[in-house]
Structure 1
């Protein structure tokens, strides 16, 4: 998703496109990885020294509700990134160190079963956590 698409969705849903919201969206686009609200606040602090954690967190929650960002949770913290540009069913590898992602185009659930007996699957989420090559190499030295 692009920043412009996200701003369009905000407007269509009746939300104002404030400077802080646009800056948060631009940050997510520039970083292109999962960020915690604390990381976003730290990265935006220079331009917005009075910005509060609550403002960041509320906007990230709104963006998630509107489908602008994906949210995941690991290490006890929620993390957010702009919605993946790949449309259709897919999953992700997520680096525990830097938060970057890599798409998995095959669905592991397909290998497990087609449809379990007596249960209709409405949706699922499959994420694999580990370390990207850069982070793995950095910790090995």
Structure 2
């Protein structure tokens, strides 16, 4: 009896076959930001910090703390201290909302991000990418 047809069905997958799945599950949809929900208390603490070179004017939004080098956010010019006000014309007031919008938007669709920087409203267009796990990103 020839079992070669059945051996394919019972054969364990090899690392080579699993590699694309490992890459996808190890990444997350992102534009490359570390961010914080901005509250009046956070604003006050940052503005009162003597060594801060950032002055926050907004009372709410999403404060960009860090931009990952070579990320989509870095390539379009987002900076620490920028405050995200809207994404695709949807107001964002909690950092978790940003990730929800990214996931809903998907990988191949651009996002329009409005930020407040030094009192000026700026609009950027960015396309999210699969980036390494945040625990693997070096400062």
> Same fold by TM (over 0.5)?
no
Larger Rg: 2
Normalization by structure 1: what TM-score?
A: 0.22
Q: Which has the higher contact order (CA 8 A, sep 6+)?
A: 2
More helix by share: 1
Normalization by structure 2: what TM-score?
A: 0.22
More strand by share: 2
